[in-house]
């Protein structure tokens, strides 16, 4: 680590471990379970399609945020090796994970007084958090120190735009994101919500449209309204690669924007959004 510090993130970023390894970023894997067997697994323990097929078959997946022990166990070997840490964490508006990271960072001061740990609350989810991590990687590659990188990310995070749509409203209903009546009516009328992550890191419904094609086009329109010229563009999907490719084609042919990464939505986010979720991320003038 020529920069003298190690970057960490967690499973909620929806970037595959091998890609994070290419970026030289350490991953703290997060747990999930299917409620009918109650056995804890870790994100990426099973192939994405298998995970979503089980959800389509009626199995209910649940997740929990990282606890302090999980974060501590990941940090200690790096601190023992004499390296500082920059942890880009899952949105505090959606999980206790970031708070666990901050508590560990504070507790470690006594044991490792020469070391520095900065925890940045991404206020982001899925590949929005992944995009935020990627920007941190680019900052590090440009020669930024740990503090310079953390400060730059803090200044930029409210420009990370998230736009989501889902195939089936029942998963959002289960998590309290939409009411039972809205889910029932939406399913009957083929209404698809278009959601985003707000400045507090919460998932918010912005509008609803009729049909999947319209929801995909609406996300592209949101990009066209606010995209900054120098942004990477990431797409994530819950086992619906064809729709991800459709969105990519619209962005590239109609908006002349290059898509930098298409990635699958892992179990931590997918347990709450369900199969068929499609999401778009970029830097914009505002969220």
In a shared domain, residues 87 and 200 = no
Quick one: which H or E segment has residue 133? Answer: helix 126-141
167/270 same-domain check:
yes
Same domain membership, residue 151 and residue 171: no
Residue 78 near residue 85, CB atoms below 8 Å:
yes
129 and 234 share one domain: no
Q: Give the chain's domain count.
A: 2
Structural domain boundaries enclosing 13: 5-35+43-49+63-157
pLDDT surpasses 50 at 1: no
Q: How far is CA 80 from CA 73, 108, 111, in A?
A: 11, 11, 10
Strands 84-89 and 5-10, sheet pairing: parallel
List the one residue out of 82, 67, 74, 64 whose CA is nearest residue 25: 74
CATH code, domain with 94: 3.40.50.10440
pTM of this structure: 0.93
What is the spatial distance between Cα 134 and Cα 260, in angstroms, rounded to a whole number? 11
Note whether residue 218 is domain-resident. Answer: yes
Judge if 9 and 147 occupy the same domain: yes
Domain co-membership, 9 together with 118: yes
Residue 57, in any domain of the structure? no
- Residue pLDDT, tens place only, 211-234: 899 999 999 999 999 999 989 999
Q: Is 22 exposed, middle or buried (0-12, 13-18, 19+ CB in 10 A)?
A: exposed
Residue 213 belongs to a domain with what CATH number?
3.30.1180.10
Same domain? For 118 and 150 the reply is: yes
Mean pLDDT of 244-258: 98
Residue in the block written with tokens 């997740």: 63
The pLDDT of residue 209 is above 80: yes
pLDDT tens digits, 22-40: 999 999 999 999 999 999 9
Is residue 274 scored above 70 in pLDDT? yes
- Residue 153 in this model has a pLDDT that exceeds 90: yes
Q: What is the pLDDT of residues 98-139, one digit of tens each?
A: 999 999 999 999 999 999 999 999 999 999 999 999 999 999
Last residue of a domain, one of 139, 157, 175: 157
| Boundary residue ending a domain (132, 157, 182) | 157
For residues 138 and 110, what is the distance between their CA atoms, to the nearest angstrom? 31
Q: Are residues 142 and 171 in the same domain?
A: no
**Do the domain assignments include residue 181?**
yes
Percentage of the chain lying above the pLDDT 70 cut: 93
Closest C-alpha to 171, from 162, 180, 161: 180
Task: Check residue 176 and give its pLDDT.
Answer: 62
Whether 18 is in a domain gets the answer yes
Domain end marker among 157, 189, 214: 157
Task: Please report the DSSP string for 12-67 in residue order.
Answer: GG---HHHHHHHTEEEE--EEEETTT---EETTSS-HHHHHHHHHTT--EEE-PPP
Q: What is the pLDDT of residue 230?
A: 87
């Amino acid at each position: 680590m020529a920069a003298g510090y190690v970057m960490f993130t967690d499973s909620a970023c929806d970037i595959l471990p091998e890609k994070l390894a290419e970026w030289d970023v350490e991953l703290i894997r997060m747990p999930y379970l299917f409620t009918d067997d109650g056995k804890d697994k870790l994100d990426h323990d099973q192939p994405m399609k298998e995970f979503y097929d089980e959800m389509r078959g009626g199995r209910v997946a649940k997740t929990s945020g990282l606890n302090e022990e999980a974060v501590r166990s990941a940090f200690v070997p790096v601190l023992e090796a004499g390296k500082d840490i920059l942890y880009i964490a899952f949105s505090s508006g959606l999980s206790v994970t970031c708070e666990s990271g901050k508590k560990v960072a504070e507790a470690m001061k006594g044991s490792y007084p020469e070391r520095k740990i900065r925890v940045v609350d991404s206020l982001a989810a899925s590949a929005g958090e992944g995009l935020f991590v990627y920007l941190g990687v680019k900052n590090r590659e440009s020669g930024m120190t740990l503090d310079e990188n953390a400060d730059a990310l803090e200044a930029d995070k409210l420009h990370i735009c998230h736009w989501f749509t889902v195939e089936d409203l029942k998963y959002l209903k289960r998590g309290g994101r939409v009411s039972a009546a809205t889910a029932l009516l939406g399913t009957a009328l083929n209404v698809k919500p278009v959601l985003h992550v707000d400045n507090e890191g919460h998932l918010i419904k912005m509008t609803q449209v009729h049909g999947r094609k319209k929801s995909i086009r609406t996300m592209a329109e949101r990009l066209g309204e606010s995209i900054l010229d120098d942004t990477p563009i990431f797409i994530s999907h819950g086992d619906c690669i064809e729709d991800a490719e459709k969105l990519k084609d619209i962005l590239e042919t109609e908006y002349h924007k290059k898509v930098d990464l298409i990635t699958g939505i892992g179990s931590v986010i997918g347990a709450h959004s369900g199969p068929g979720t499609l999401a778009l991320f970029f830097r914009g003038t505002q969220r």
